[in-house]
Structure 1
Amino acid sequence: MNKLLVTGGAGFIGSHFVRRILDADDVEKVTVLDALTYAGHTANLGQAFLNPKLHFVEGNICDVKLVETLVRQHTAVVHFAAESHVDRSFSTAGTFLTTNVHGTQILADAAMRHGVDRFVHVSTDEVYGPLPVGAATEDYPLRPTVPYAASKAASDLVALSYWHTYGAPVCVTRSSNNYGPCQHPEKIIPLFVTRLLRGEPVTLHDRGQHVRNWLHVEDNCAGIELVLRQGTPGEVYNIGGGTDMSSRELTSELLRICGAGWDQVTYIPDRLSNDLRYAMDWSKLAALGYRPTHDFAAGLVETATWYSRNRDRWAPLTRSASATRPCGTTPDTASEPQHV
């Protein structure tokens, strides 16, 4: 694992993982491959660029020649790169399928042919679809309901097929909803925080009853590193252990932290195919020693504080997000955030 290729390493989760893995003594080199689309920014890596271990390459995972060159130079791959926003997938499903499915196939194919030691494919709990009760284990049927989740489910299966067919050392992780500093302001927590900080209104879908499990991004990254080091090839690992909250309960917490009131909240009709509840069983990863360590209340305050202190980072993104938002969505819609 001494030479690591991280795709999507300038994105939200990927950049947190890169900063974490650079501190590992047994890591000699970390190369970030990122297309720097609207959700990827070199600023997310910050002072990591001062580390001589870090190498950055701007490029697309669908570039076969580039992927070939990079994978050949590394001993492990951690694959974060993906189109990740549900609302955007409604109007640009083809882009999601191209990047998430075909891009994963290109990476897995290169990893197989060049004999990497480990390939970790990062995915989401949304592939399981809605669960009214109970929690999905790793062998639960995949029942995605939106184009984004369908593209991730397909990419999971493509990645795992390279284990079953060729013996490529593939592991898949599926995490619940991540939160933390540096997340793009199209996602619900930074969207609400940045709007409330500006004294602007926020909106909730339907009655705010949709339940998600909120996991600090650093806990997810700890789980991914554990799978990278100790996961069994061919296996899927759920990464959970956060806090279950309805969107209304989450909004209440954010209002309190930002010193705002319910008069800044309005309700709008539910979006298309908005799954009521996601839930995962993460005991399989717990058996390897995984334990989330971030308290949700403290983590939410930490996250809001980061946005309060770093307006220069997110203010330009809120303008660009509005300019590039797909048809049929509104800039203050409480879209459920994704993980990659």
Structure 2
Amino acid sequence: MKLGMVTDSLAELTLAEAAKVCRSLGLEQVELGCGNWSPAPHVNLDALTADAGERRHLMDTLAENGLEISALNCSGNPLFPGEKGARDRAVAEKTFTLAEQLGLKTVVMMSGLPGGCPEDRTPTWIVTSWPPETLEILKYQWQVAIPAWKELARKANDHGIERIALEFHGWQLVYSTETLLRLRGEVGNILGVNLDPSHLFWMGADPLAVAEALKGCIYHVHIKDVRLERAAGPNTLLDTKGVLEYATRSWNFVTPGTGHDESWWRSFLAKLRDCGYDGPLSIEQEDYTIPTRLALEQAAALLRRVLPA
């Protein structure tokens, strides 16, 4: 397994500056955001897909710092009703093009989420089987999602993409082992998981059990932690307060080791190895309680300590 970073974690820096930070942390890989929910701080999709010189400059900048690209990330909602979904799909398709041009085989995405009926203008996330209308909504959403993802998978395959790593997240149709396997069963083995334990923690799953259940289709891994806050008191873990309101949230994204201790992370990486995973470990820094550079230093140091021999 190689250590890397989602460079959105250093969005305020230029690519050259971010690459130097990665080198100073002893990282080997970077995951580049290409748009949609990423601000794409280090990727100009239009320029890179159109100009081989721009692509050479990107790769040279990384190589000068001993870095390679683990994956491109274009997470967004390709199932959003109307023009918004069309725009997100266009970014995904252009990301497939760039991946092919750079010789990359993995793209990280999220499944997206449709509306609840043909007339909806926004998505709706169903997380219960009652009231009865929820089941009709889910039936409609899967009827939308399956053909849309078959088409996305076909286009990805046309560009030589072998792995689309879907990240479990709230407000997505795919947010669990069961939902991933359902979509994968319909679309094919090009779909796998980007296993990010942080989202599993707040949604109540055991990341080690998830890894075991998804043996053979773990295509990418994000390294991010969650701390469940005692201050939640009478509130549930379904929390809509912004991430910068960390003092009053029920849970927070935190630096690995501060939500779950070092022994847990050692067990997690050992489980990944037992499941046959030998791919990237991509740090995604979203801990707003400490300075970014300090959080990255702590995360990289912890990973080096717990990597399986």
Instruction: Name the TM tier (shorter chain).
Output: 0.3 to 0.5
Structure with bigger RCO (C-alpha 8 Å, 6+ apart): 1
- Could you state the TM-score of these two structures normalised by the residue count of structure 2? 0.38
- Could you state the TM-score of these two structures normalised by the residue count of structure 1? 0.35
